[in-house]
Amino acid sequence: MIQCDGLVKIYKASNLEVFALQGLDLAVESGELMAIIGNSGSGKSTLLNMLGGLDRPTAGSLTVDGKDMLKMKESELVRYKRESVGFVWQNNARNLIPYLTALENVELPILLSGRRKRLRALELLEAVGLGHRAHNKLHQLSGGEQQRVAIAIALANQPRLLLADEPTGSVDSRMAEQILDLFRDLNRQLNLTIVIVTHDPLLAKKVDRVVAIRDGKISSEMLRRKSYDEELRELEAGHAQEESHVEYAILDKAGRLQVPSDYLQAIGIKDTNKVKLELSDGQIILTPPEKGA
């Protein structure tokens, strides 16, 4: 579904150039449910905007659903945003029109596409558990209910890719859990590819893959040890729980590796950009440099 190779994004302000992405490589399979995490300024929201056709890369290659995002004309980008991708934002003001009912908000993108299917809008509200709130205005809905309406809107034109930017950032932990369960259900039922940008640690328990971005590159990935259903069955049976995911550092195509700063501090590497590498019994060992190095 998604293939990023050597993706670079440079923003220019006056005489200053800011590298938001610095040669990022990423592949996402069709039907995958994954999350992207990273500190503020790491490049995760920039990547999401480019996947959604809201911004273009400066260099590298980006293909989404078989479409070359660097070569698409503006008219093709508009069609892509209408037909291939759905967005859910953290700020509901970007998702919803306040003076419309929940049903009317979901109907709007369907009408703009030239279709007239009120039944489709009602089905989507039912799918997100809000069929009984279809005729409520937004001020009559809780923050979590508004976010569910936003998810229904994102699905209105049957996209193949759903992008969510901090979708649980403005709701409490109980509602965040329900929204994440909803994403998992939609992923299974519709075979929908879902990419979520988040700071929420709950996501690590819900999604199959967590990709960490640091300084504009993929630094590590966490992959699920066993299926989510298997974990639930073991939990219900009262079995002891091991860590749900195993974390791997990522080598770029030049063999470079980002080592987490807390790992380096733990082995005493401070105030230097040097590290000693040794190969021993099939393992690579990192140690601090010798004195004077």
Q: What is the pLDDT of residues 81-98, one digit of tens each?
A: 888 899 988 776 677 888
Contact between 35 and 204 (Cβ < 8 Å): yes
Q: What is the pLDDT of residues 52-62, one digit of tens each?
A: 998 888 999 99
For the chain, the maximum distance between any two Cα atoms, rounded to a whole number of angstroms, is 75
- 174 within domain boundaries: yes
Same domain, yes or no, for 163 and 190?
Answer: yes
Centre a 10 Å sphere on the Cβ of residue 56 and count the other Cβ atoms it contains: 13
Same domain, yes or no, for 198 and 181?
Answer: yes
State the pLDDT confidence band at 293, using cuts at 50, 70 and 90: low
Coil, strand or helix: which one is 160?
A: coil
- 207 within domain boundaries: yes
Q: Residue 178 pLDDT more than 70?
A: yes
Same domain, yes or no, for 187 and 248?
Answer: yes
Same domain, yes or no, for 33 and 45?
Answer: yes
- 238 within domain boundaries: yes
User: Nearest to residue 183, comparing CAs of 213, 146, 148?
Assistant: 148
Same domain, yes or no, for 246 and 265?
Answer: no
Q: Give the phi and the psi of residue 117 in degrees, each rounded to 5.
A: -130, 85
- Region 150-168 average pLDDT: 89
Mean pLDDT, the chain, rounded, equals 84
Q: What's the domain count of the chain?
A: 2
- 125 within domain boundaries: no
Task: Give the C-alpha separation, 47 to 196, whole Å.
Answer: 11
CATH number at residue 45: 3.40.50.300
Same domain, yes or no, for 220 and 169?
Answer: yes
- 16 within domain boundaries: yes
Q: Which helix (H) or strand (E) holds 97?
A: none
- Supply the pLDDT for residue 194: 94
Q: Which residue has the tokens 């195509």?
A: 253
Coil, strand or helix: which one is 245?
A: strand
User: Nearest to residue 144, comparing CAs of 86, 94, 90?
Assistant: 90
- Supply the pLDDT for residue 231: 60
- Supply the pLDDT for residue 115: 62
Same domain, yes or no, for 246 and 271?
Answer: no
State the pLDDT confidence band at 292, using cuts at 50, 70 and 90: low
Sheet of 209-214, strand order: 85-88, 161-165, 193-197, 33-37, 209-214, 217-224, 245-249
Same domain, yes or no, for 172 and 252?
Answer: yes
Note down the domain range covering 20.
Answer: 2-84+159-257
Query: pTM for the complete prediction?
Result: 0.83
φ/ψ bin of 201: left (φ > 0), alpha (ψ from -120 to 50), beta (otherwise):
alpha
Integer angstrom CA distances of residue 65 from 42, 100, 165, 265: 25, 32, 20, 42
- Supply the pLDDT for residue 230: 66
Q: Residue 19 pLDDT more than 90?
A: no
DSSP state of 80: H
- 57 within domain boundaries: yes
- Region 140-149 average pLDDT: 88
Same domain, yes or no, for 251 and 270?
Answer: no
Same domain, yes or no, for 37 and 50?
Answer: yes
CATH number at residue 274: 2.10.260
- Supply the pLDDT for residue 282: 87
Q: Residue 181 pLDDT more than 70?
A: yes
- 267 within domain boundaries: yes
pLDDT > 70: percent of the chain: 89
Same domain, yes or no, for 206 and 290?
Answer: no
Same domain, yes or no, for 165 and 278?
Answer: no
- 106 within domain boundaries: no
Could you list the beta-strand ranges (E) of the chain. Answer: 2-13, 16-28, 33-37, 59-64, 67-68, 85-88, 161-165, 193-197, 209-214, 217-224, 245-249, 276-280, 283-287
CA angle 34, 35, 40 (to 5 degrees): 160
